[in-house]
Each structure stands twice: as structure tokens, then as C-alpha cells.
Amino acid sequence: SAVISQKPSRDICQRGTSLTIQCQVDSQVTMMFWYRQQPGQSLTLIATANQGSEATYESGFVIDKFPISRPNLTFSTLTVSNMSPEDSSIYLCSVQGFQETQYFGPGTRLLVL
Amino acid sequence: GNSVTQMEGPVTLSEEAFLTINCTYTATGYPSLFWYVQYPGEGLQLLLKATKADDKGSNKGFEATYRKETTSFHLEKGSVQVSDSAVYFCALSVFNDYKLSFGAGTTVTVRA
């Protein structure tokens, strides 16, 4: 399985600001994913990020609010733009492994005041 | 579409008790099935998986069997420990779709 790190691990932000979350993998992977986990809830897929192409967003998520970069096969960023308290969540990246298995990073815990 | 229905929690147990968390699924095609665990303050860890009918996944004393006839993948552990306190998620993925569909999660608390 891949080793995945995320930065920052947590942050407290003011409404109206933006935060960029980084996801680094220790091996080259084709598919990376970004999820949101609202307090006490399950995971919701935000988008799929493939290297060399635009991210594919799920229903209810838009690029202006959650721009994603995927500059190479080991790195991706997710930006949460113009934040409101409703954006307070855990944001997790994951990578696609063998037999449809996804491996997750430790998550970024975001609190918006 | 694909969906996972998971036993509602929270579940509170005493140490050495038997744990079962029910999970049933609906899927187009033949899914791979997963159990993930989220310990307090951490991300998700893959606990076990099964990729075809009648496969049994096992890890850390946990087991789950892929039952196609009942579309189920129930998680079991014979003797839980305090360190098993976590949120457990059942999930599925269909070949070539790559997306994981998650259940709602079950919070398990084990008391000493």
C-alpha cells in the first residue's frame, strides 16, 4: 500500500479566506481522489484527479469552490475557496491501488470561524 | 446505482465481547467490498476486503465474508479490545468505476 501524507493536518480559518491542502504519495499513482467528511458523517467524494487532465467533479461540487491541481503522479492539491462555517470538515485524499482498493491519507481537519 | 446500508450505531460493548456490524449492498455488476476503520483523530485505514463471492477477508481478528446471495458483508470479531474503539465504514467499488460508495459508518466504543 502507498504511504500518503497531507498538509496541513489541521487549521482554523476565517470565513471568506481560502486554504490549500496538499497530498503527497510515496509512489506514482494514476488516480487520486478528494473526499469531504462533515462532522459525524460518512465520506463524500468531491472529485477525481488524474495527472494531465482536468479533475472530474461530483454532483454538488464545482471547480470555482474546490479547485484541484495534479501536477505530477505523486502530488495533488485541493483548495477550499471563500470559506464559510459550513466548510468545516475533514478533507481526505486517497489513491487508487490494486483491485479497486483505495488508500487514504490522514486527513486535514478544517474549522472555519 | 451503487449503495451501502450499514447498521446504525453507536455500539457500546464490554471488552472481550463479540462484535457484529451488519452491512448490505446494492450494486450494478460484481463489486469489491471493503471495511475501513477510522480511529479517533485519524484518517481511514483499510481493515479488510473481499473481491468475489464467498471470499473471506480477515485482519487483526476481524472477519467478513462476501455473501452474494444475501448481498451482505457483515463484519465480526470474536473478542474486542478497548483499542478497537473506532468508526467502521463498509464500502464497495465496482470494476472500472473506481469510485467508493460508503455506508454511514458505525461508531463502536469498547469499555474496559
**CB–CB contact B43 A103 (8 Å):** no
State the pLDDT at residue B98: 79
State the pLDDT at residue B95: 78
Q: What is the percent of chain A where pLDDT is above 90? A: 86
Per residue in B64-86, pLDDT (tens digit) is 999 999 999 999 999 999 999 99
- In 3D space, the residue among B79, B108, B94 whose CA is nearest the CA of residue B21 turns out to be B108
State the pLDDT at residue A60: 95
Minimum-distance CB partner of A100 among B36, B93, B104 = B93
As a whole number of angstroms, the distance between CA B74 and CA B24 comes to 8
Minimum-distance CB partner of A104 among B43, B104, B105 = B43
Residue B96 pLDDT exceeds 80: no
The larger pLDDT score, comparing residue B1 to residue B3, is at B3
Chain A closest-CA separation from residue B17 CA (Å)? 25
State the pLDDT at residue B104: 94
For every residue of chain B, DSSP letters joined together read --EEEE----EEEETT--EEE-EEEE-SS-EEEEEEEE-TTS-EEEEEEE-STT-EEEETTEEEE-BTTTTB--EEESS--GGG-EEEEEEEEETTT-PPEE---EEEEEE-
Cβ neighbours for A24, distance < 8 A, ≥ 6 positions apart: A4, A5, A6, A7, A74, A75
Regions of chain A short of the pLDDT cut 50? none
SS (H, E, C) A85-110: HHHCEEEEEEEECHHHCEEECCCEEE
State the pLDDT at residue B74: 98
Residues from chain B contacting residue A39 (CB–CB below 8 Å): none
Residues from chain A contacting residue B43 (CB–CB below 8 Å): 6, 92, 104-107
**CB–CB contact A101 B46 (8 Å):** yes
State the pLDDT at residue A1: 74
